[in-house]
Amino acid sequence: MNQLPDELLVLIFATSLRDLSSDAHQPLLALICSVCRHWRDVAIGASELWTTVHVPLEGHLPVIQTFLERSKGRLIDLDIMVLDSVILAHKVAEITAPYISRARTLIMTLPDLNIYNVFSKTYCTISATSLSSLSIHLTDALWSPHGHSPLFASTNSLCYIDTEGYFLREVPSRASLTALKLNKYCPTHFDMYEPLDLANEGDDGAPITIIAPTTLKFLAVSVFFAHSNDTDRCGCVLDKLCIPNLEYLEVVGSTMDLNVHFRGLAKLQTLRIQRCTITSADQFFLSAKELRRLELVDMPSEDIRHITGISTEGPSSPSFPHLSSVFFSTKRKYMESPQQLLQLAEHCVATGCPYFALEVEKGRIEEFLSAIKWSDGGHPVSDEGETEIEEEEMDEEIEWEPEWEIKYDDE
C-alpha cells in the first residue's frame, strides 16, 4: 500500500473513519500513524482526518490539542463528554475556545450547571458563526430557570438544537432553525421567546403568539410533568406556537390534549407519540389531513382506539386520508391493538391508498400476527403464526427497513 498515491491513502483513511463514533477516531488514527513513517506523515498532513474532536471524561488535553491543531482551518465536530472536575473543565474550555468559531457541531454532556457555567464564562464573548448543530444536556441535574448565562455571543448558522427546555432562553433568536428537540421540558411562556419569535406581548389583551421560523420542520418534545387540558393551569407555551411548516412532531410522556397544545399543523406528515394518554375528546387527529406516517410507541390499546377512530361499538371512522405507514412498538403484551391497526390499514386502502405498510419491532412479528383476528379480505394466519404475507422489497429511497409489510390491493 506504500505504492499508492497519497490522495488515495487519505481517501482510504477517511472512509474507515466515516461511520465511527467520535470516541473511536483517536484510537484508529493512532493505529494508522503507528504502521509506518509514510502513513504517519500522510495522515498528519491530511487535515480532514482530524476534524472530529472527542473530549472524554479524563480530558486527555494533549490529544485534544493535537486534533485541534491538525484540523487546521477546517470545520470541526466537537464532542465534550461528562467532565466531573471544575479544574479540568476550565482547561478544556481554554484549549477549545480559540477554535469554537470553526465548530460545526457541538455536543456537550455535562453533570451540572457548575460545569456548564465554566464553559459559558469562557465562550460567552465568542461568535460561533459556523455552528449549525448544538446539543447540550445535564446528566445529574435539572436546568434552573435562573443562574446561568448564554453560551455564545451569537450563533448565526444554528439549525439544530437538542437540549432541556430551560436552556432555550440562552440560545439567540434563530431565523434558520430547522429542528428543535426538547427534553425534560417544563413548559413556561418564557422558554421559547429567544429561539423563536414573540409576535405580541399580550398587553392589549390579545392572545400571545410565538412564531416559529418558517424553516422549522422538526419538533420533538419530551414533557417532564403531566399537562392539563387547561393550558392556563399547566402554564404551557406549546399552544401559543405557530409552526406553519412543521412536518415531523414527536411527543413523549404526558397526559395532554394534543389538539389544545398543537394547532395549525397543516403540513404535518409524520407523528410519533410515546407514553401519551389520549382522550376520546381530542380532535387533533381530525385535522391531520396530510399525515403520511404514524408511529405509536408504548401506547395502551384504549389510546390507540382513540387515535385510529376504530371503535368496538360502532363503525370505523379514521381521519387520515393520506396515511400509508404505521410503526407500532410496545413493551406490553399485544392485545387488541394489532387488530385496530389492521382495520385502520384496510380503511386507508378502501379510501384510495394504493399501498400500506405496518411495521413492528424486531423479534415480535409472530406475536403481532397471532394477535390479529383476520377479517374478510385479509391474509390468513395460522395459530402457529405461519403467514402467507407477500413480501416485497422496499423502494431504495426509503431509509427505514421494516421487519414485515402488508400490501393491500383494492382491485
Q: By mean pLDDT, which of 28-37, 76-85, 331-340, 345-354 is the weakest? A: 331-340
Give the Cα separation of 25 and 53 in Å (integer). Answer: 8
Asked whether 95 and 65 are in contact (CB, 8 A), the reply is yes
Q: Does the pLDDT value for residue 393 go beyond 50?
A: no
The 8-class DSSP code of residue 154 comes to B
Beta strands in 231-269 (DSSP E): 241-242, 248-255
Give the Cα separation of 333 and 352 in Å (integer). Answer: 32
User: Which residues 6+ apart lie within 8 Å of 380 measured at CB?
Assistant: 374, 388
The share of the chain scoring above pLDDT 70, in percent, equals 71
Q: Does the pLDDT value for residue 268 go beyond 50?
A: yes
User: Would you state the pLDDT for residue 397?
Assistant: 37
Q: Can you name the residues that pair with 222 across neighbouring β-strands? A: 252
Give the Cα separation of 96 and 106 in Å (integer). Answer: 11
Q: How many CB atoms lie within 10 A of CB 58?
A: 11
Asked whether 277 and 246 are in contact (CB, 8 A), the reply is no
Q: Which three cell numbers stand for residue 405?
A: 409489510
Give the Cα separation of 156 and 308 in Å (integer). Answer: 42
List, as one string, the DSSP characters of 149-173.
--S-SB-TT--EEEEEGGGGGGSPP
Q: Does the pLDDT value for residue 191 go beyond 60?
A: no
Give the Cα separation of 172 and 195 in Å (integer). Answer: 6
Quick one: which H or E segment has residue 54? strand 52-55
List, as one string, the DSSP characters of 330-393.
-SSPP-SHHHHHHHHHHHHHHTT-S--EEEE-TT-HHHHHHT----TTS--B-TT--B-PPP-P
Res. 148 pLDDT band, cuts 50 70 90: low
For the chain, what is the largest distance between any 2 Cα atoms, rounded to a whole number of angstroms? 77
Phi, then psi, of 349 in degrees rounded to 5: -65, -40
Asked whether 182 and 222 are in contact (CB, 8 A), the reply is yes
Q: Residue with C-alpha cell 387520515?
A: 320
User: Would you state the pLDDT for residue 259?
Assistant: 75
Rounded to 10 degrees, the C-alpha dihedral 83/85/86/88 comes to -70
Kindly give the pairing relationship between strand 103-110 and strand 179-185.
unpaired
Q: Can you name the residues that pair with 337 across neighbouring β-strands? A: none
Kindly give the pairing relationship between strand 210-211 and strand 197-198.
antiparallel
Res. 360 pLDDT band, cuts 50 70 90: confident
**R_g of the chain, CA atoms, integer Å:** 25
Q: Can you name the residues that pair with 393 across neighbouring β-strands? A: none
| 242 residue type, one letter | C
CA-based nearest residue to 106, from 145, 59, 51: 51
Q: Which three cell numbers stand for residue 210?
A: 410565538
Res. 221 pLDDT band, cuts 50 70 90: confident
Q: List pLDDT tens digits, range 281-322.
A: 677 777 788 899 999 888 877 888 778 775 544 444 557 888
Query: Helices then strands (H, E): number in the chain?
Result: 11, 15
